[in-house]
Amino acid sequence: MMNHFMVLAVLLTLRTCYTTYLEQESIVFPVTYLNISKDLALQQLLVEWDVGKSAHDAELAMSFEIQVHRTDENTTVWTEFHNITLDRSGKSLRWIWDSDLPLECMSHSVRIRSKAEASKIWSQWSLWETVLGLDTSNNSGPQIFPDEKIVEEGSDITLCCIGRKGQIIKDFILATDVHVLNHTSSQGQVRLLTVKNVAHHVPHISVCCQESSNGDRYCDYAVFFVGKPPDTPNDFSCQTQDMKIVTCTWSQGGDTYLYGRYSSKYTLFEEFSQKPVLCTVSCSERCSCSWNIGQQRICNITLTVENPLGKKTAMDVFDVTHRIYPAAPLQLWEECTGTEITLYLEHQNKGIELFCQTELLQPDGKVELHNASSDLRVCNTITLGGLQPYTEYTTRVRCGAAKHFWRWSEWSKARTIRTNETTPSGKLDIWREITPVLGGRNVTLFWKQGTSFRANGRSISYEVTWEKVEDGSKPEKISFSSVYNSTRISIDNHSYRISIIAKNNVNYSLPSVLIIPRATGTEEVKEEQVNGTDDGIFISWEPRHTYDSYIIDWCNFPMFQPCDLQWKRFEPNTSSALINSAAFVPGVRYNFHIYGSVANSASLLEKKTGYLRELPPLPDPTVEKVELSFNAVTLSWDSYHTNESQPGFVRGYHVYVSPTQENCNLKGSKKHVLPDESVLCKYTIENPEEKRYTVKHLLSNTKYKLAVKAYSGGGETPIVDFIYIDTPFNSNTLYLLALLVIVPSLAAAICRWKMKWLKEWCCPVIPSPNKSKVLSFKEFKIGSEKVLATSDCIPDMLAVDNKVEAQNLHPWSQLSSRPTEDKINGHNSSWIYPNENEERHLTPRPTPQMHTWFENFAYSSLLSAESNPYQIPETLEAIKPELAAVLYQPHYYFDIYNEDAASTPREAAGRKTSLRYISQTDVRCLGRSL
Amino acid sequence: MAQGAASSLHPVTPQCPPSPSSSSPAVTKGLFILWAVPGQGGRPLQPPTLQQTQALVRHMAEDAQELFIFYEEDQRLTIHNNLCRTNHPPDWLRGSVTGPRGLRALWRTMTRMAQVLQNITRHQRDLNPPGAEILRRLASTHLKVRGLLSNLEGLFLSPSSRPSRQPPPGPTAPTKVFRQKLEGCRTLWSYSRFMAKLSTQLEARSRHEHREKLRSQRGSQLPARS
């Protein structure tokens, strides 16, 4: 029973909880009050609303969804959820919205709905509450919003132009070339202009809006500024000189691009006294502000810099006694000795213990800082010691608080002070040059103020004394003013002691002594070449332990007289030195003498000669002699100097020869390519005293160009001039030429001279057959042709060519004498040598069995030379077919050489092989025989 | 008195330097100012000659034109045509200054102009960094106006007849920045027109009086010839 009751009780409780939970989940508290207003200065929309009192009483945690709507844009431009826990006070709820668009431009509406956090159900939306824009009012003309707004560089700005009711905005533009987004309301009465990421181009930007209505123009203009918020003040600190007036200083920071009344304003506020600091800020390179702090010793100053775009602060908390910045001390006068300067000062910060620092500027530009430990309140003097006598120093002083040092004061005005004169310190550096003369020596003495010597006075003079060492004779003495640094004395060949001292207004210096030893014979010392470097000429010598110092002397201007002798001393353990002088120039040969000195007596040890830098020899060797053969040329330049007049040690010569071919192929030479890429053959002579060279292996009858260049360690100068030579003909070649040309020419001449004889000998005159006696008969004539009856002629010699083919080919080949055949060497020609005395009577018969004819070789030869057979009238005549068919052989004769002219191909082919010359009997003979 | 002063606008002797043109170098202009405005350059103050004043007016006319053109462009007021170039100048730049009371009227106009230039300069200081070209030009023009005022005061015969330096009260200046810019621009335009007109009138008058003088000289010489 009991258990049953308990179960019922639990169930009841659960149901109650569940019911309560359901009720809470579904409970809503709608917005009962909503009011909106606008703050045009801040461009904010102020929203105020409330829900039922029960919600306040229940102290519910609630959420509100707030929507902002722009009438003209027809969209919800903002939605925000606002969570708050209500209290029992019953105060209405508030929310502020910053509008990116000027609230004047168009109407803005707000609605809200609510939800208890425990609930899942949102209330109904409240009705829209609207604040009207100026687009709904009656304007007298277009208006631009916002006007004179200051925009931070890099942000966006949206402007609107509201036209009169029913009017359309025609133009809404910026007077600066800036990219803008431009859009118009649906009615055209409001136009928006958005500039994204505004940049500072000009101090301010003008905007122009223009509406067009019935030709009347209504315009409005506005200006907006683009700037930057101020930077936080840098290096803000405050200090005092007298613990009464405090001055705070700071750096301005970057340009804000806002000027005049929009520029940054500075204010100072003292936090302990909670009072603004009454001071006037002035800014040039730095800003500063000064005011009287009275008796206040600890300050907390806040500096605020503010402009329309923002505000920055800087703070300085300080104890005035720790911020003492003393005024610059005043140097009243000074006292000097040879080595000390005492400064007398006055400072304005009475009662403040100061610590001062003195800057000492030395004549060589070095700066020394001397801290003065003395308290200036007790003694207003500062003493600077360790100074050089008769030397000008520039001093200035600054001070700082000895306790709680903050910073140095400004420097006092600089004063230039000269210390007093004292005795010259150290010795003069002296040297000599000895020139032997008849009966003695000329000694040129030189002196200079070495590093160890100090004149210590204004007026310095020199005194030279010399005396014989041996007999202690009376010394001689000469004085010189400060402008002199050398003198020449004449001494005999004895040993001399020379001393030189410097003197100022106070006293003499210690003497510098030189011993000139007794004159002895000149000792030859070999001269060696040395090399120059970028830093000077390096000299080394063999160390000797007998000397207490070494001296090197040389002439700065070896070509001049006096040559400006220089010398340098070295410690006894030195064996090399790098000699440099401002007077050293490349291309000049300098001679160095190395001396060893012991007991003020110097003796020459070594000689060196060298250049700072060798240059190419100048001028080029002049080729004085050229010996030419057909295949070699010898050049000589004997007068060329290789001495110290040269700007470098002459190491040898190069002989250049232009090759006949592109590549240098002259034996013993090397190819040398000029800057213009032409090629020369180069021969090298490595001995500067060898001033003659023979270039061999040249070609005869060829033009060559040659050049001779001297070279040194500095190289050689470019080739400018060449020597031009023409190698002569080779005589052997001439002989050969003579053989080949003159002999044939002579032969030709002789031939020409004896042409007639030769012609007659080689080519006898060919008699004309027509003029031959043979044909001088009248027995028979066919047309113009004479016919000789064989019986009328007794031939000397008769050749008979008997061919079967000929017989076959020619109808008249049957006309033949009696057949007599005798084959010789396989040839079917038959030669008949009849008896000269035999006379035969041959009668012409119309049908001879064998065709027989005559030919003279000479005639044949002429024909062969004259290839045109038409030139022979007789043969031309023989072409006539009517004649050829009957008796006369000349027609046939013609055909041998002009086989195409009148014969058929077949005939011609036959003749080629079968017809041959046949007789070589002298015509005369023939004629006679015939 | 004013009439007397005005009647003394006679060319006495041709002492004027060559007329400075707008293309003259700055040095020439500086020398010209030294000559045209007595007391400039540390010289002892002496009454100005009419030629000096006339030459100064001519120079100021050129300067006013240059200042207006620079201002209009610098302030981007060419955004619309003839925004500045009004045909309705302020009253104080409208009246004639060459009549019988010309010098006094001119003095009043220049006094007002000096005040307006100060206002324009103050407005421009809010818009430009220190040392901006427009500020330099405004200061230069202001100095010239004060120089002319000084010359005009020197032309009055007695110190007692000199008007006081107290400027007449001007209209309330506009508060909006663009309005201030526009107002300044229009004033500079009217000032340049005024100075051009004044210079032309003075030149014409000078030539006329010179011709009259020559004529009278010829007339007096004729009987001597006969």
Give residue-wise pLDDT tens across range A398-439: 999 988 999 999 999 999 999 999 999 999 999 999 999 988
> Under an 8 A CB cutoff, do A259 and B76 touch?
no
Residues 6+ apart with CB under 8 A from A779: A787, A788, A789, A792
> Under an 8 A CB cutoff, do A204 and B127 touch?
yes
DSSP-assigned letter for residue A309: T
CB B57 within 8 A of CB B195: yes
Q: Residue A292: beta bridge partners?
A: A245
Q: How confident is the model at residue A863 (pLDDT cuts 50, 70, 90)?
A: very low
Taking the CA of residue A221 and the nearest CA in chain B, the distance in Å comes to 7
Q: How far apart are the first and last CA of chain A?
A: 196
Mutation site for A-interface testing, chosen from B71, B126, B134 by largest number of A Cβ within 10 Å: B126
In chain B, what residues touch A255 (CB-CB under 8 Å)? 129
A with B: how many residue pairs have Cβ under 8 Å apart?
Answer: 46
Pairing of strands A392-401, A354-361: antiparallel
> Under an 8 A CB cutoff, do A176 and B177 touch?
no
Q: How confident is the model at residue A443 (pLDDT cuts 50, 70, 90)?
A: very high
Residue B224 above 70 pLDDT?
no
> Under an 8 A CB cutoff, do A221 and B182 touch?
yes
Pairing of strands A310-319, A298-307: antiparallel
Determine the residue of chain B that is closest to A202 in CA distance: B128
Q: How confident is the model at residue A624 (pLDDT cuts 50, 70, 90)?
A: confident
How far apart CA B76 and CA B70 sit, in angstroms, is 10
Alpha helix positions (H), chain B = 2-7, 26-36, 50-74, 102-127, 133-155, 177-225
How far apart CA A431 and CA A550 sit, in angstroms, is 12
CA-CA-CA-CA dihedral for A623, A625, A628, A632, to nearest 10: -50
Taking the CA of residue B61 and the nearest CA in chain A, the distance in Å comes to 29
The more confidently predicted of residues A291 and A910 is A291
> Under an 8 A CB cutoff, do A221 and B130 touch?
no
Percent of chain A with pLDDT over 90: 47
Structure tokens at A738: 């003579």
Determine how many CB atoms are found less than 10 A away from the CB of residue A677.
6
Mean pLDDT of B45-51: 72
Lowest mean pLDDT among A104-113, A743-752, A779-788, B70-79: A779-788
Please compute, for residue B223, the number of CA atoms within 13 A of its CA located in the half-sphere on the CB side. Answer: 3
Q: How confident is the model at residue A738 (pLDDT cuts 50, 70, 90)?
A: confident
Q: Residue A833: beta bridge partners?
A: none
What angle, rounded to 10 degrees, do the helices at B102-127 and B133-155 form? 160
pLDDT of residue A699: 85
Q: Residue A331's closest CA among A251, A262, A419, A397?
A: A397
**Minimal Cβ distance to A221: which of B129, B130, B178:** B178
pLDDT of residue A355: 87
Mean pLDDT of A450-467: 92
Structure tokens at A419: 């210390």
Lowest mean pLDDT among A276-290, A830-844, B72-86: A830-844
DSSP-assigned letter for residue A770: G
Structure tokens at A40: 């045009």
Specify the residue for token string 């987004």: A181
Structure tokens at B219: 């007339």
The more confidently predicted of residues A802 and A902 is A802
Cis bond before residue A619 (omega within 30° of 0): yes
Alpha helix positions (H), A777-917 = 804-809, 857-865, 873-878, 881-884, 890-897, 899-902, 905-914
Q: How confident is the model at residue B103 (pLDDT cuts 50, 70, 90)?
A: confident
Taking the CA of residue A62 and the nearest CA in chain B, the distance in Å comes to 47
How far apart CA B106 and CA B100 sit, in angstroms, is 11
- Rg, Å, chain A Cα set: 68
pLDDT of residue A555: 95
**Minimal Cβ distance to A147: which of B77, B80, B176:** B176
The more confidently predicted of residues A555 and B5 is A555
Determine the residue of chain A that is closest to B77 in CA distance: A175
Mean pLDDT of B213-222: 75
Please provide the size of chain B in residues: 226
pLDDT of residue A841: 42
Q: Is B201 helix (H, G, I), strand (E, B) or coil?
A: helix
The DSSP annotation for A451-482 comes to TT-B--SS--EEEEEEEETTT-PPPEEEEE-T
Structure tokens at A521: 């014979």
**Minimal Cβ distance to A259: which of B80, B127, B176:** B127
How far apart CA A123 and CA A613 sit, in angstroms, is 104
> Under an 8 A CB cutoff, do B181 and A223 touch?
yes
Mean pLDDT of B31-59: 68
In chain B, what residues touch A259 (CB-CB under 8 Å)? 125-130
CB A713 within 8 A of CB A614: yes
Residue B51 above 70 pLDDT?
yes
How far apart CA A164 and CA A400 sit, in angstroms, is 72
pLDDT of residue A923: 39
pLDDT of residue A19: 54
> Under an 8 A CB cutoff, do A260 and B126 touch?
yes
Residues 6+ apart with CB under 8 A from A33: A48, A49, A50, A92
Residue A203 above 90 pLDDT?
no
Q: How confident is the model at residue A584 (pLDDT cuts 50, 70, 90)?
A: very high
CB A806 within 8 A of CB A910: yes
Taking the CA of residue A276 and the nearest CA in chain B, the distance in Å comes to 26
Q: Residue A402's closest CA among A329, A352, A367?
A: A352
Q: How confident is the model at residue A14 (pLDDT cuts 50, 70, 90)?
A: low
What angle, rounded to 10 degrees, do the helices at B177-225 and B102-127 form? 150
Percent of chain A with pLDDT over 70: 77
Chain B: residues touching A (Cβ < 8 Å): 75-77, 79-80, 125-130, 132, 176-178, 181-182
Specify the residue for token string 């200079």: A448
> Under an 8 A CB cutoff, do A206 and B130 touch?
no
pLDDT of residue A859: 44
Mutation site for B-interface testing, chosen from A177, A201, A208 by largest number of B Cβ within 10 Å: A208
> Under an 8 A CB cutoff, do B79 and A173 touch?
yes
How far apart CA A486 and CA A484 sit, in angstroms, is 6
CB B34 within 8 A of CB B42: no
Lowest mean pLDDT among A111-120, A335-344, A484-493, B10-19: B10-19
| Burial class of residue A5 (count of CB atoms within 10 Å of its CB; 0-12, 13-18, 19+) | exposed
> Under an 8 A CB cutoff, do A222 and B178 touch?
yes
> Under an 8 A CB cutoff, do A219 and B129 touch?
no
**Minimal Cβ distance to B126: which of A147, A202, A262:** A262
